[in-house]
Structures are given as structure tokens and as C-alpha cells.
Amino acid sequence: MTAAAEERSAPESRHRRNIFIVANNIEEVGGLQRVVHTLAEGFAERGHAVELIGISPGPPGARIEPGRGYQTMTLGPAEPAEWVPRGIRAKLRPVKQAKERFRRRVHARNVGRLQARFDRVEDGVVIVGQIWAMQWVADADTRHLRVIGMSHESYEASRGLLPTAIGSTRYRRIMQLYPPIDAVLLLTEVDARKFEQRGLCNVQVMHNPLPQWPDQVSPLTDKRVVAIGRLEPEKRYDRLLDAWKIVATRHPGWRLDIYGAGSLAMSLHDQIEEAGLVDSAVLQGPTKDPFSVLQRASVLALSSEQEGLPLVLAEAMATGVPCVAFDCVPGIREIIRDGEDGLVVRNRDVDALADGICRLIEDEQLRRSFGSRGRHNIERFRLDRILDRWEQLFEQVDR
């Protein structure tokens, strides 16, 4: 052991660990990426040696800025899709075969790069952010390391049961690659139990942390309802706008701001025009700082059809903003305690969503009590708390 290393591990009585976090890509601006960067920075601050590894580069566009104290790397350019040859006709396709040979070489090279990082340490922990990335970790030799895998979606979504995830093969891959590793982390108790019943024996629950804890809470005086999230089909903003049509007629002074970019921008724009909501509903485009948006909001609405554990609810509650959400996945109730610090309404029921929003608009007292209780309750998502849980987990897998 070198003197430098000794010095670094000495100041704290805590055990200094080598932590690798592996994710599909670490560059795209997305929920998962935000989580792994937050964790990496948190671990680094606590004195661990952290390296964040992306399997392939993110799609072109906005890049997430790495934080301080940890290294990042990407294994290499995206690998072509795997091709499994079947039958004699497959043998007559030299181009395909050559491509597949090439893919295997690229894959082997990428696994080799990963292996080189792993081999530089004698022990440590590998955290695999998504099941897809596990295919590289599984091909590497990790006998000297502990491996922890994560899955950030509900059981139904990974089984391919949900409308927005039809035909997902992630369940199959989870049941194939995750059983031997040291721990599998799921977002909610309900999902953990479902996987457990299907025979996965190493499941645990770990919440994602809030990236920051806002000092300022919203005054809850602006007549603004907000929604934050990508403009994609599974977010069902069309339903939110249907509900808003009802709200807008009852409370003309209020407005709805939707933050996010995505493929449905045009069609939502059309829907706003058709419904005659141009004055009260606005597509604001993406935001980099959700907390400053929330500090000027009075209600947050979530109309999704499919979510994992939607952190935007936790962010809103941390800012003291009460939420109304569809009861679409177990994760919703894991964040909001219905009637205590927010409202959970029947999934897909547009009228119920409108009623929920109206209830919060009409009753300022309710808004305030939900807001303050929510901020208190949601402390369990604070980074410090979550990092404590992680350190407990590290000790557990080390035994």
C-alpha cells in the first residue's frame, strides 16, 4: 500500500472503498444519469475512490456535467446490435456474419477495458445502474469485487405488461443476470416483493436520492400549477390537458406550466389550441433547475401512465409544493401519503385528477399543511440519508 493511499484512507475511521458505478451511458440528461452522478459525488465526498463508467456514449444533444471528486470514462462507441444466426440460410449471409464477428470483437474489447479498471483494485464494489449494462459486467471477472445491480422500473414494466413497455425483455435479463450477484436494488417494497415471489432471492429496496435539498420553500401564492417531465407518450400530458380544461373553467385565474421537451411537443401544442386553453396552459420547454420552477408553483400535477419512482414528486415536496398524481405505479404511494401530504387519484381518471387539482387550488390551508408535512416526510430522500443506507449495504455485502 502506498503512503498516499494510506493518507487518503486514514483521516476517517470509515472504511474507504473502491466504488465503480456502471451505467448504459453517463452523458445523457436523464433521470438515471442524474442519480448516478449524484451518488458518485456523494460517495466521493465521503472519501471513497469512485469511478463512473458508461458503456457507450449518450445520444447527441445536451450533456450532463460531471461533479467533483470522481473519475468518469466511457468504454467506447456504441456496439452494434447482437445477431444470433439461425438455420442454414444464416450461414449464407457473410456480411451479417462479419458484422457479428466485428461486434463480438468490439464487445470483447469493451469488456477488456472494463476488466482493466476492475483489475487495478484488490477489492471494492461495482454498482450496475441498469440491467443492460450488466451484460458487460457479467462478462468481466468480478470475483474480487462485490456486485450490486439496480433496476429502476416497476415489476410490471420490466415484464412487458404495461402499455408503454410491451414486449420488454428486461425481466428475462434480470432473471438471467441478476440472481448470482450480491444484491439487487429495486425502487419500491411492492416491486421487491413481486420479484422475490418470482424467485429472485437477493432483492433489497433503495430509494434514489434527491440531488439537492432546497433551502427555500415555495410561498404557494402564485396561481400556478406545474408539471415537469419529458413530452413523451407515457407521461400522458394529453390527459393532464383534458383535466386542465375542467380546472380552467372553474378557476380562470390559474395557469398550467408544463416543463420538458420531447416528441409530442407539436401534438400537445395542437391540443392546447383546439381546447382553447392558449391563455391558461403553456409549454415552457425544458428546465435545468426544477427547484427554481417549483419555488414559484403552488401545485404539482403528475399524469403519467408509467413511472418508476418519480423523483419529481419528491423534489416538489422538498420545495413544499403539494402534489396530485395518478395512482399509476406502486412508487407513487411510496412517495406521497395520500391525504396526508398530497393527493393520489384513480389512475386514468381525468375527472378525479381535475377534482384533485381544484381541491388544492380552492383550499390554501390544505395546500400549506400538505406542503409543510410533505417537506418533513420527504427528508428520507435526502442525499445524506440515502448515502447512509448505501454504506450499510456495503457493509452487508462485505460480510
Partner 1 sequence: MPTPSESSTVGGLRPDVSVVVIAYNDAARLPEAVASVLDQTLRALEVIVVDDASTDGTWDVAQALAEAHPDRVRAIRLPENSGGCSRPRNTGIDAAQGDYVMFLDSDDSLERHAAKNLLLTAERTGADLVSGLCVRVNVTNENKRTRWYARLYAEHATYDSIRDAPELLFDTLSTNKLYRREFLDRNGIRFPDGLHYEDLLFSTEAYCTAQPIAILPVEVYRWHVVEDAATASISNRRNNIANFRDRLQIHQRIDAYLVARGFDDLRPIKDRKFILQDLKLYLTDLARRDATYQEAWLNMAADYLETVSDEAVVSAGPLAAATAYLVRRRDLDETLHAAELWIHGRLSGGLCLDSGRAYLTGRYLEDDLGRELLDVTALHLHDAPFSRRNMRNRLVSIAGDRTAELRGEINDPLRAIDADDELSATLELRTADGRHRVDIARPQVELTAQGTLTWRASLAARRRPPRMPPNVKSWGLWMTLHHGDSVNVSQVISTTDVTAGRRLPWKRSPWTGQSLLWVERGPGDGVWLRVERASKAWRLADRVWSRVRRSGVYGDLRRLFLSARSRGLKSLVYRSVLVRLPVRRGTAVFESQLGRVYADNPKYVYRALRSAGDNRRVVWSYTESTSGWPQDAVLVKRASWRYFYELARAELWVDNQGFPPGAPKRRGTKYLQTWHGSPYKAMGFDQPQLQFGPADKRAEFAAGVGRWTHFCVQSPFADDTFRRAFRHSAKSLPSGYPRNDPLLRYDAAAVKDLRAQLELPDDRQIVLYAPTFRDSDRVTRTRSGLRLNLARLSELVGDRCYLLVRAHYLDRGSVPTRYSSFARDVSDYPDTTELLLLADGLITDYSSVMFDYALLRRPMLFYAYDLELYNQTRGSYFDLETEAPGPVVKTEDGVAEWLSDFRTPHLAYAERLERFVDKFCTYETGHASEDVVREFFGVGT
Residues that bind partner 1 (CB under 8 A): 1-2, 5, 9, 15-16, 18, 49, 86-90, 120-124, 156, 159-164, 166-167, 179-180, 182, 193, 196-197, 199, 201-202, 233, 328, 347-348, 396-399
Q: CB of 193: closest distance to partner 1 in angstroms? A: 8
Give the nearer residue to partner 1 in terms of CB position, either 8 or 373. 8
Q: Indicate the residue type of 255.
A: R
Question: Measured between alpha carbons, how far is 113 from 80 in angstroms, rounded to an integer?
Answer: 18
Give the nearer residue to partner 1 in terms of CB position, either 18 or 319. 18
Question: Measured between alpha carbons, how far is 125 from 104 in angstroms, rounded to an integer?
Answer: 27
Cα radius of gyration (the chain): 23
Q: CB of 335: closest distance to partner 1 in angstroms? A: 18
Give the nearer residue to partner 1 in terms of CB position, either 7 or 65. 7
Q: CB of 367: closest distance to partner 1 in angstroms? A: 29
Give the nearer residue to partner 1 in terms of CB position, either 254 or 394. 394
**Which three cell numbers mark 391?**
454504506
Question: Measured between alpha carbons, how far is 363 from 366 in angstroms, rounded to an integer?
Answer: 5
Q: CB of 205: closest distance to partner 1 in angstroms? A: 12
Q: CB of 69: closest distance to partner 1 in angstroms? A: 17
Q: CB of 257: closest distance to partner 1 in angstroms? A: 27
- SS3 label, residue 285: strand
**Which three cell numbers mark 21?**
458505478
Give the nearer residue to partner 1 in terms of CB position, either 2 or 365. 2
Give the nearer residue to partner 1 in terms of CB position, either 15 or 105. 15
Q: CB of 1: closest distance to partner 1 in angstroms? A: 6
Give the nearer residue to partner 1 in terms of CB position, either 95 or 201. 201
Give the nearer residue to partner 1 in terms of CB position, either 124 or 331. 124
Angle at 245 between CA 242 and CA 247, to 5 degrees: 115
Cα-flanking dihedrals φ and ψ of residue 306, to 5°? -145, 130
**390: nearest Cα among 214, 144, 204:** 204
Q: CB of 389: closest distance to partner 1 in angstroms? A: 14
Let me know: does 319 contact 338? Beta carbons within 8 Å: no
**154: nearest Cα among 375, 279, 327:** 327
Using alpha carbons, list the distances in angstroms from residue 264 to 29, 57, 232, 239, 274: 18, 25, 6, 13, 15
Question: Measured between alpha carbons, how far is 80 from 237 in angstroms, rounded to an integer?
Answer: 34
- SS3 label, residue 233: helix
